[in-house]
């Protein structure tokens, strides 16, 4: 009897599996990402809903792999690509992180026609397009935008010490001198990657957008006096930071500011989502400004989707990309994720106070790309800069640091 | 006839595991060696012959020098600390105190925990924050008015890696204790008694009788702990993330291969790690095999 029951169950399970395999959908699209938790996963779900409503005949397969900032997902993806088994579309940081790895490996296709037919060129900032292109070909569809060059501050700490929000490097140094003299930690800083994040914003704040962009195209000399000045500024900024930075995550560091234990913190605008989670109020518990020296410049990073070379179902993949670039898709995703649309025509009322101000800047500022978050340098170059920075933080030798940066640009960047 | 059958059957039965070991261990080692001699950088394999370039570059690479230095400090502190503490605990337990079984399990327990868990807990304990934000050991020291003990732990300049070794000692000294205890129990009481009759005091008994008899145990402990410390990765990442002051070869290998796509360099680091472990392990295995066949 028991044996019969067992056999019956097995058969039923097998039948169920077979039946579920032949659903009514005509085609399917497999989308690979590392959005598995929090606002990201919820945002993706919202966008999938939009997709299902528009394309009821295409089955959406969510192939998300967990792991912070996609480290695991990217290793899995690399294995699949090397085995010739690509998903139809996958997530990646817009810019050189995608281009340097996947265009160089001939794994993704240009999307210029899609940009033309969907009219995206008219609704995305003009200065964005070259940053996500290679040789005039656009390679990905940005879904959301985060800002990297944000200076978060504690309004009451600044007020108590009679310090105004700085707009230039010199004002910033003066402000931090005052704070330090008053016994306040001027700058909250975290582990190594947050130091690279700080470095890119100080490079931008000292060099300005044109020379900063030139660093990544080979037009600005990494060994030049401008860069030396920028690195000196960076070294000076580091002296104002908390002494235990190496043991703090970005959240720990950002929290010091809203708790009143430090005055400033430089972090991308995902920090705002974290402040809200902590129950803090914008403008009273935390304020924001562009990092000194970068007023009028929007240093961005973005999650974007690509079209695989040899996608199992290219038509379905393009349908997905259309949704990812659409107003409807981006309006579904971004308020949940806590970022702004890559398009400049999203409805502002869907967003909170900080994000609304970011939307204004996105539509009007000069756009430059982030280093730490994959826009301006390919993976190899970034990892060499990371190593050079780590050695610099340890030994403080600025001349060695600069020559290591020159060498990194020669080895893995466009410098000759 | 039936003996032959047995032999064929036994070869047949172990062949899957031999095959698996050949492919998944030796095959992949050979493949890694090949990759380490190539120019492979980027997503697509590139087997252009590079000779020993990747290895030569590593030895002039300032980051790899940091790695070697950190590994040496970590190994020194961790191995010496675990052996000294383990031996001390074993001698204490060997005095025939009450509740020995309880203490034995107590000291052995940390070994059952994964390095990741140890790392997270010690990350809290070794919190280097100052001022109002004191916590962990530093807060304890401050309560006990032992303020001179408050320190920066793993964020100490140049020697931070030694603080990580403390966590590893906590985890592994119980294990060292267990093997020393087994060794101590294997020493016949007659030897101690004979020494006592000859007029040796307790210290002399340990110095001239027990320690020499325990030297094979010490050798095993050295090798087991030594090869673990050469490969350390998870504990450091759990305590401090991937930051250069606490960098070791295994972390460099991971970052340069999967974050930086320098597959050739990553493979070279992997092979160097393998060689350094092999230098430690192979003579030991040969020695044990020889003594076992002799017995």
Q: Please write the tens of the pLDDT for every residue from B146-156.
A: 888 888 899 88
Chain A residues closer than 8 Å to B269 by CB: none
Query: Could you say which residues from 127 to 166 on chain B have a Cβ atom under 8 Å away from some Cβ of chain A?
Result: 127-130, 132-133, 152, 154-155, 157
Q: Residue A7 has what pLDDT?
A: 63
DSSP state of A164: P
A239 and A203 inside one domain: yes
The domain spanning residue B111 has which CATH number? Answer: 1.10.3720.10
CB contact under 8 A, A379 and B243: no
Whether residue A263 lies inside any domain: the answer is yes
Range of the domain at B115: 37-294
Its sign, for the CA torsion A81, A86, A90, A96, is positive
Q: What is the largest CA-CA distance in chain B?
A: 82
How many CB atoms sit inside 10 A of residue A225's CB?
Answer: 8
- The three-state secondary structure class of A94 is coil
The average pLDDT across B56-84 equals: 96
Domain assignment present for A262: yes
Predicted confidence (pLDDT) per residue in B215-255, tens digit: 989 999 999 999 999 989 999 999 988 889 999 999 999 99
Bridge partners (DSSP) listed for residue A187: A241, A264
* Alpha-carbon gap, residue A372 to B92, rounded angstroms: 53
| ipTM summary value | 0.86
Give the burial string for A159-194 (b: 16+ CB within 10 Å, else e): eebebebbbebeebbebbebbeeeebbbbbbbbbbb
| DSSP H/E element including A222 | none
**Distance in Å, alpha carbon of B278 to nearest chain A alpha carbon:** 28
Q: What pLDDT, on the 0 to 100 scale, is given for residue A16?
A: 58
In terms of domains, do A208 and A78 share one? no
Test A191 with B243 for CB contact under 8 angstroms.
yes
Please enumerate in sequence order all residues whose Cβ is within 8 A of that of B45, keeping only pairs 6 or more positions apart, or say none.
A82, B263
Residues in contact with B35: Cβ distance below 8 Å, sequence separation at least 6, in sequence order: B47, B263, B264, B267
- Which is nearest to A128 in space by CA: A100, A158, A94, A159? A94
Same domain, A96 and A212: no
* Domain membership flag for residue A12: no
Locate B228 and state its tokens. Answer: 């673990």
One domain for residues A229 and A309: no
The residue whose two tokens read 């139809």 is A88
Residues of chain A contacting B, Cβ within 8 Å: 71, 74-75, 78, 81-82, 101-102, 104-107, 191-192, 243-244, 246-247, 261, 379-380, 382-384, 386-387, 389-391, 393-394
In chain B, which residues have their Cβ closer than 8 Å to the Cβ of A247? 123, 126-129, 154-155, 240
Q: Is residue B196 part of a domain?
A: yes
Cα separation of A336 and A334, whole Å? 5
Contacts of A273 (CB under 8 A, 6+ apart): A39, A338
Query: Any CB–CB contact under 8 A between B41 and chain A?
Result: yes
Rounded to whole angstroms, the Cα distance separating A272 from A276 reads 6
Whether B17 maps to a domain, the answer reads no
Contact A346, A280 (CB under 8 A): no
What distance lies between CA A153 and its chain's CA centroid? 21
Specify the pLDDT at position B265.
97
The residue of chain A with its CA nearest to that of B255 is A383
> How many domains does chain A fold into?
2
Where residue A331 falls (left for φ over 0; alpha for ψ -120 to 50; beta otherwise) is alpha
What is the pLDDT tens value at each position of chain A, 416 positions in all? 466 666 666 666 666 555 555 445 678 999 999 888 778 889 999 999 999 999 999 999 998 887 656 677 888 888 898 888 999 999 999 999 999 989 988 999 999 999 999 999 999 999 899 999 999 999 999 999 999 999 999 999 999 999 999 999 999 999 999 999 999 999 999 999 999 999 999 999 999 999 999 999 999 999 999 999 999 999 999 999 998 898 898 999 999 999 999 999 999 999 999 999 899 999 999 999 999 999 999 999 999 999 999 999 999 999 999 999 999 999 999 999 999 999 999 999 999 999 999 999 999 999 999 999 999 999 999 999 999 999 999 999 999 999 999 999 999 999 98
Does A233 map to a domain? Answer: yes
Contact A246 B155 (CB under 8 A): yes
> Rounded to an integer, what distance in angstroms lies between the CA atom of residue B167 and that of residue B191?
37
Q: Is B265 on the interface with A (CB under 8 A)?
A: no
Does A258 reside within a domain? yes
What kind and span of H or E run contains A171?
helix A169-181
Which residues from A are below 8 Å from B245, CB to CB? 246, 390, 393-394
In angstroms, the CA A53 to CA A38 distance is 23
Same domain, A378 and A237: yes
Q: Which is nearest to A386 in space by CA: A192, A146, A130?
A: A192
Q: Is B47 in the A-facing interface, judged by CB distances under 8 Å? A: no
Q: Which of B259, B263, B264, B266 to mutate to test the interface with A (most CBs of A within 10 A)?
A: B259
Judgement on whether residues A234 and A196 belong to the same structural domain of the protein? yes
Give contacts of B262 with chain A, Cβ < 8 Å: 380, 383
A vs B: CB pairs below 8 A: 92
Give dist(CA A191, CA B154) in Å, integer: 13
CATH number of the domain bearing residue A140? 3.40.190.10
Q: Does B66 touch chain A (CB under 8 A)?
A: yes
For residue A78, which residues of chain B lie inside 8 Å, CB to CB? 43, 258
CA closest to B247 among chain A residues? A390
Q: Is B34 on the interface with A (CB under 8 A)?
A: no
Which tokens in the block code for residue A274? Answer: 């974290």
Q: Which of A100-104, A372-376, B129-133, B181-185 has the lowest mean pLDDT?
A: B129-133
What is the C-alpha to C-alpha distance for residues A110 and A118, in angstroms, rounded to an integer? 14
Q: Considering the domain boundaries, does residue A314 fall inside one?
A: yes
Per the structure, the complete domain to which residue A406 belongs is given by 147-300+371-412
- Taking the CA atoms of residue B106, residue B107, residue B109 and residue B115 in that order, the dihedral angle to the nearest 10 degrees is 150
Question: Are A175 and A29 within one domain?
Answer: no
User: What domain count does chain B have?
Assistant: 1
Q: Are B122 and B36 in contact (CB under 8 A)?
A: no
Residue A9 falls inside a structural domain: no
> What is the distance in angstroms between the Cα of B60 and the nearest Cα belonging to chain A?
13
Shortest CB distance from B261 goes to which of A101, A261, A390? A101
Are A332 and A389 in the same domain? no
Q: Are residues A162 and A288 in the same domain?
A: yes
Q: Are residues A163 and A208 in the same domain?
A: yes
Q: Do A135 and A242 share a structural domain?
A: no
User: Does A322 share its domain with A402?
Assistant: no
């Amino acid at each position: 009897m028991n044996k019969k029951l067992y056999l019956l169950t097995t058969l039923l399970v097998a039948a169920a599996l077979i039946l579920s395999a032949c659903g009514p959908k005509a085609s399917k699209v497999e989308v690979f990402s590392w959005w598995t938790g929090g606002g990201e996963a919820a945002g993706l779900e919202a966008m999938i809903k939009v997709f299902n409503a528009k394309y009821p005949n295409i089955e959406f397969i969510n192939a998300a792999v967990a792991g912070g900032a996609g480290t695991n997902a990217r290793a899995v993806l690399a294995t699949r690509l090397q085995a010739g088994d690509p998903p139809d579309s996958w997530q990646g940081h817009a810019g050189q992180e995608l281009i340097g790895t996947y265009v160089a490996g001939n794994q993704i296709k240009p999307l210029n026609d899609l940009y033309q037919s969907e009219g995206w060129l008219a609704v995305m900032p003009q200065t964005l397009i070259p940053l996500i292109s290679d040789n005039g070909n656009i390679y990905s569809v940005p879904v959301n935008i985060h800002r990297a060059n944000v200076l978060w501050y504690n309004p009451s700490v600044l007020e108590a010490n009679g310090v105004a929000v700085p707009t230039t490097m010199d004002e910033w140094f003066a402000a931090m001198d005052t704070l330090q003299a008053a016994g306040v930690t001027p700058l909250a800083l975290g582990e190594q990657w947050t130091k690279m994040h700080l470095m890119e914003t100080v490079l931008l704040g000292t060099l300005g957008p044109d020379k900063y962009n030139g660093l990544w195209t080979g037009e600005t000399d990494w060994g030049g006096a401008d860069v030396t000045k920028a690195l000196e500024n960076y070294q000076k900024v580091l002296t104002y930071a908390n002494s235990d930075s190496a043991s703090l995550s970005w959240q720990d560091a950002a929290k010091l500011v809203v708790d009143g234990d430090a005055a400033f913190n430089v972090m991308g605008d995902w920090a705002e989502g974290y402040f809200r989670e902590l129950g803090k109020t914008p403008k009273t518990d935390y304020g924001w400004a562009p990092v000194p020296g970068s007023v009028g410049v929007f240093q961005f990073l973005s999650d974007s989707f690509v079209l695989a070379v040899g996608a199992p179902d290219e038509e379905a993949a393009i349908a997905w990309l259309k949704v990812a670039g659409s107003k409807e898709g981006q309006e579904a995703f971004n308020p949940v994720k806590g970022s702004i649309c890559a398009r400049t025509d999203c409805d502002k009322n869907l967003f909170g106070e900080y994000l609304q101000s970011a939307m204004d800047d996105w539509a009007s500022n000069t756009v430059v790309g982030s280093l730490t978050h994959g826009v301006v340098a390919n993976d190899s170059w970034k990892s060499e800069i990371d190593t050079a920075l780590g050695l610099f933080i340890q030994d403080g030798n600025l001349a060695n640091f600069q020559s290591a940066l020159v060498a990194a640009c020669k080895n893995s960047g466009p410098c000759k | 006839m039936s003996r032959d059958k047995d032999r064929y059957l036994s070869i047949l039965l172990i062949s899957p595991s031999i095959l698996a070991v050949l492919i998944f261990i030796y095959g992949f080692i050979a493949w890694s060696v090949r990759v380490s001699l190539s120019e492979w950088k980027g997503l697509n394999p590139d087997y252009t012959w590079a000779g020993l370039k990747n290895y030569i570059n590593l030895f002039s690479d300032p980051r790899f020098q940091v790695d070697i230095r950190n590994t040496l400090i970590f190994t020194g502190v961790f191995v010496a600390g675990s052996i000294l503490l383990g031996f001390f605990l074993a001698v204490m337990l060997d005095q025939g105190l009450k509740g020995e079984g309880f203490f034995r399990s107590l000291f052995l327990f940390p070994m059952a925990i994964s390095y990741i868990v140890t790392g997270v807990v010690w990350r809290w304990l070794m919190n280097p924050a100052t001022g109002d934000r004191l916590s962990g050991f530093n807060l304890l020291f401050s309560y006990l008015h032992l303020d001179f003990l408050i320190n920066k732990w793993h964020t100490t300049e140049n020697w931070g890696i030694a603080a990580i070794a403390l966590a590893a000692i906590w985890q592994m000294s119980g294990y060292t204790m267990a093997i020393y205890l087994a060794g101590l129990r294997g020493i016949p009481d007659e030897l101690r008694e004979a020494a006592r009759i000859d007029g040796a005091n307790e210290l002399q008994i340990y110095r001239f009788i027990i320690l020499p008899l325990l030297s094979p145990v010490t050798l095993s402990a050295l090798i087991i702990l030594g090869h673990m410390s050469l490969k350390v990765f998870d504990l450091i990442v759990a305590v401090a993330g991937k930051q250069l002051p606490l960098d070791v070869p295994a972390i460099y290998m991971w970052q340069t291969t999967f974050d930086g796509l320098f597959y050739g360099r990553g493979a070279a680091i992997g092979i160097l790690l393998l060689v350094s472990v092999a230098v430690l392990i192979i003579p030991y295995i040969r020695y044990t095999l020889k003594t076992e066949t002799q017995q």
